[in-house]
Amino acid sequence: MKISPFDLPGLILIEPRRFGDDRGFFAETWSRRVLAAGGIDLDFVQDNHSLSRQPGTVRGLHFQTPPHAQAKLVRCGQGVLFDVAVDLRRGSPTYGRWAGVELSAENGLQLFIPAGFAHGFVTRAPDTEIVYKCSDYYAPECDGAILWNDPAIGIDWGIETAAVLSDKDAKAPLLAAFDSPFAFDGVPA
């Protein structure tokens, strides 16, 4: 696996090796030993899988607050999506900044998003599936969101038509209204 950090401390792009032939491919998408050597030493406790039927579907920007904050390891199982993470850690030199990467079934890339980041994505193809590991269980009392198109964050989603949104995502608050419980401790991940 190739492990590459982003400019946002803690955010990491992972490129698993693929072994292919005329039948398809094989890839090791998770190895505790390999990723721990690359700085990702977590116990993932839950896997999530969602399907978005229409291109232009936006899900996010979601997070869980302490004591159930979640790190995520995200990949695309089918289709194409643009995956985004926003730094919500008070005191971080990159607070409120975002980074994004195209994840697809074809490229096999994965994004590691540490706790303290909001996560979201937009689909670029019909019937796009996202699959991700979480470092803590879903806790509805800790569930939160920031408005996906907050102008203060300025994410370029690359959407050419109206976004397909849930009511929750359409009504999420702006970053300026969010009192972040996350703190940057100077440690990347």
Active site amino acids: 62, 132
Contacts of the segment 32-38: beta carbons below 8 A, 24+ positions apart: 34/1, 35/1, 35/3, 35/112, 38/1, 38/3, 38/12, 38/14
What is the C-alpha to C-alpha distance for residues 18 and 25, in angstroms, rounded to an integer? 6
Sign of CA dihedral 131, 133, 136, 142: negative
What is the C-alpha to C-alpha distance for residues 142 and 44, in angstroms, rounded to an integer? 18
CB neighbourhood size of 16 (10 A):
18
Nearest to 182 by CA among 37, 70, 33, 23: 70
What is the C-alpha to C-alpha distance for residues 15 and 22, in angstroms, rounded to an integer? 21
- Whose tokens are 């994965």? That residue is 110
What is the C-alpha to C-alpha distance for residues 170 and 135, in angstroms, rounded to an integer? 26
Please, where are the H alpha helices in the chain? 32-37, 167-170
